[in-house]
Structure 1
Amino acid sequence: MNNSPGWDRPRTSLYTDHYELTMLQASLHSGAAHRKTVFEAFARGLPDGRRYGIVAGTGRLLEGIADFRFGEAELDFLARTGVVNAATLDHLAGYRFTGNIWGYPEGEAYFPNSPVLIVESTFAEACVLETYVLSVLNHDTAIASAASRMISAAGGRPCIEMGSRRAQEESAPAAARAAVIAGFASTSNLEAGRRYGLKTVGTAAHSFTLLHDSEREAFAAQLASLGPGTTLLVDTYDVETAVRTAVELAGDKLGAVRLDSGDLVAQARWVRALLDSLGNVHTKIVVTSDLDEFSVAALQSAPADSYGIGTALVTGSGAPTAGMVYKLVSRTNNDGEFVPVAKTSKAKINVGGRKHALRRFDDTGVATHEVIGVGRLPDDGGHGRPLLRQFMEHGEIIPGWTGAEAVARARQRHVDTMAELPAAVNRLQHGEPAIPTIYEAG
């Protein structure tokens, strides 16, 4: 499932809310627990001003669902705390998801009401997954969506994920994975590298320079240990002095210098001029310091070669959740026939029925609509692409949707999906979704 056989994933069954198990208990009592159901994860809208979102987290989610079991420790906790009764504990002791899961593949764009994930199984199996499904998809999709905007703003210059210290320890590797799916070149997080086969990078912080008696001594030690191709951090004291010292010690083989403070646009320009004047025309400039998609866009006029992005990325750059919900949209009746169901309150209206989805294009191959079919796949009109793929069948993960290779495929999928969307997706200004979502009844 992952790049390292030594990684033991935690049991996921208690990554859930209390009421999911009490619903299960009550439905077991009523006899409705074993009705076949269809649940759907979707976002009613995009974060304010966003024009599209990017799906991420599905591979992690599938692995977690496959491991969703109630072992002795979990059952003992539920018994001691009286969360559910003995009959429900007996049911949970044998829990295993045996249904089917469909959805938008990782790296794919989504829009309001896109059926990002569809879970087909009994109510007893599907209802207890709600919180776990939403916690994974809301987090990873928020990160991937922010990362995609940053990649667009970077205009082809590499971006490095550097946000681990601004994230919870388990969310950090997940954020790195989502960022790489959306186009980031590498991460500073070693656990992400181990789990998901991501490229990891890093050299030295200001503390390394301050540890030594002089900046020259620190640079010499780093160069001796890591080689001249390393990146030297040049803003601990005086940037110009540091750049000159770096070139003096490493010569024209110096890999890069990193700027982490000040007016980055102006500073990158004169540092580039200084490097060139010293003969280091191939030494690159790495820029960090609380970057987001807007500051990256501003740096397009500067001779920066790559960007290290942390806090804004791992917090979704103002949108830390994708706002997805998990709703029952269809169930069997007493005759075993599927019937659509939906919440119909005025504030939150859902559309019932099992969904199908495709994206329609104009004659030039540019996307024009997200089309949701209720009960059937909509007509593609001669220019359409079905969006839903099956991830699990009878509780087994279909090969290809997890592991390091799945991340690489999702990364390419992001490139492909961005290429088919209207140019409006590259604008950072607030605006409506790049394409509208429309429904077609079965």
Structure 2
Amino acid sequence: MNSADLGRRVGVPSTALFTDQYELTMVQAALKAGTADRRSVFEAFTRRLPEGRRYGVVAGIGRVLDAVENFHFDDEMLTFLRERDVVDGPTLAWLADFRFSGDIWGYPEGEVYFPGSPILRVEGSFAECVLLETVVLSILNHDSAIAAAASRMSAAAGGRGLIEMGARRTHELSAVASARAAYIGGFDTTSDLAAGFRYNIPTVGTSAHAFTLLHDTERDAFRAQVDSLGRGTTLLVDTYDVAEAVRTAVEVAGTELGAVRIDSGDLLLVAHRVRQQLDELGATGTKIVVTSDLDEYAIASLAAAPVDAYGVGTQLVTGSGQPTCSMVYKLVARAGSADPAEPLRPVAKKSLGAKSSVGGRKWAARRLDESGVAEAEVIGTGPVPDGLADRQLLVELVRGGEVIAREPLDAARERHMAARAGLPMSAMQLSRGEPVIPTEYV
């Protein structure tokens, strides 16, 4: 079962008001001026990566497709707009019939990106494309930030398990989107059941300190959990004294105990002590899970520790200090009418400073060196050079308003692992630096 099926099953409400008012007022003015139907091309991209990041991760494409598919104005919404005098009568009539009918191309979900990468290209009339700006950016900026943090944590973990557990540290709906993005970025499981239900992500969870405190003794708590969940459960051992808890845990569950979780203290030191104690007690197969405000740096610092899995919450769902990717959505080309035969004219913002953009409907390709490792992100508006024709990055997502590129979430996760593996080794460094490959315009 893929994520799209699950998304439709639980029901996706209209996304039409997940927008800024000026999108609608621009449509009103363009309708009055007779320019609303001009064929247009918008692109979503970022001018720079978040400070210190070496690559970005495309996440949220599947959610963008859901948002586009469900972008329509119902009677209640139109009444709201009318009562607030947001737009005039002719614009309300136009909105009442709105369904996106254009085309969308983009980087496939899980792919990596760099400054200037045309992550999403939206083509259609000016009016229908401009309406999508805010919802597209809100999804891509959030999900790609979480996925990038997850990817860095996954690289630091070096193949050890990763549990997403940040639901209580963010908005309840953001928690679901965060779990989805984290899974794409390399996390294995989530504690959030809504994410598991909607996107079929594996879920995990056993008990918190409150469960231990509920019982008269730690032994009583462990016995209750093992009796209910089996010997393969994970017991939380840092409520009181860790060494005593580990001894009690093995006495209660036996050497078949699945795992112990450590949530406080000097994790490096405690993990070594717990591993030694478990081995001495004969529980050589019992795993160690650590939690407690982890980020990619803390995970990397535990590389030498006998840890089997990491649980990450706050730092993951806040992008590990970079909660947005600063993506923008800009008009890059337009025709003088709705006529498909009329040529597109490149347009671009020419502001002073760092806010200028490059005009023209773009393609993108990744050039590889002789070893098959990425060496440049190449972007152009003219013919694609022969050597890059089979390295193009954009894929067709929506054709004539119909979504044509649904895929399972696991496909995006696997794509990301492959894309990350194709970058220079320095991409995995956690030290601050420039993008790991340059962006070249041709």
Task: Specify if TM > 0.5.
Answer: yes
> 1:182 and 1:88 mapped to 2: Cα distance?
41
> 1:2 and 1:263 mapped to 2: Cα distance?
44
Q: What 5-or-longer segments of structure 2 have no aligned partner?
A: none
Amino acid at match of 1:243: V
Aligned to 2:336: 333
> Contact between 2:103 and 2:397, CA under 8 Å: does it hold in 1?
yes
> 1:61 and 1:283 mapped to 2: Cα distance?
42
TM (norm. structure 1) is 0.97
Aligned to 1:421: 423
> 1:9 and 1:290 mapped to 2: Cα distance?
33
Aligned to 1:301: 304
Amino acid at match of 2:414: Q
- Quote the offset at 1:399 in angstroms: 4.1
Write out per-residue CA displacement over residues 361-402 of structure 1, whole angstroms, 9 at most, x where no aligned residue.
0111011000001143344368x611000100001010434x
> Contact between 2:365 and 2:388, CA under 8 Å: does it hold in 1?
no
Amino acid at match of 1:59: G
Aligned to 1:22: 25
Worse overlay, 21-30 or 209-218: 209-218
Where do 1:10-409 residues align within 5 Å?
10-333=13-336, 336-347=342-353, 348-380=355-387, 385-401=391-407, 405=408, 407-409=409-411
> 1:371 and 1:344 mapped to 2: Cα distance?
22
- Quote the offset at 1:10 in angstroms: 1.8
Partner SS, residue 289 of structure 2? strand
Amino acid at match of 1:43: T
Runs of 4 or more above 4 Å deviation: none
How many equivalent residue pairs?
Answer: 435
Write out per-residue CA displacement over residues 42-64 of structure 1, whole angstroms, 9 at most, x where no aligned residue.
00000001100100000011011
> Contact between 1:356 and 1:378, CA under 8 Å: does it hold in 2?
no
For residues 220 and 296 of structure 1, do their structure 2 counterparts lie closer, same or farther at Cα, with a shift above 3 Å needed?
same
- Quote the offset at 1:298 in angstroms: 0.2
Amino acid at match of 2:283: N
Write out per-residue CA displacement over residues 10-60 of structure 1, whole angstroms, 9 at most, x where no aligned residue.
210000001000000000000000000000000000000110010000001
Partner SS, residue 151 of structure 1? helix
> 1:379 and 1:341 mapped to 2: Cα distance?
27
> 1:127 and 1:176 mapped to 2: Cα distance?
29
Amino acid at match of 2:398: M
> 2:51 and 2:417 mapped to 1: Cα distance?
24
> 2:113 and 2:309 mapped to 1: Cα distance?
28
Whether 1:8 aligns to 2:15 is no
> 1:112 and 1:120 mapped to 2: Cα distance?
21
C-alpha RMSD of matched pairs (Å): 1.1
Amino acid at match of 1:366: V
> 1:399 and 1:386 mapped to 2: Cα distance?
17
> 1:30 and 1:157 mapped to 2: Cα distance?
59
> Contact between 2:45 and 2:115, CA under 8 Å: does it hold in 1?
yes
Partner SS, residue 417 of structure 1? helix
Q: What 5-or-longer segments of structure 1 have no aligned partner?
A: none
> 2:333 and 2:10 mapped to 1: Cα distance?
37
Aligned to 2:435: 433
Worse overlay, 116-125 or 330-339: 330-339
- Quote the offset at 1:121 in angstroms: 0.6
Partner SS, residue 333 of structure 1? coil
Amino acid at match of 1:42: F
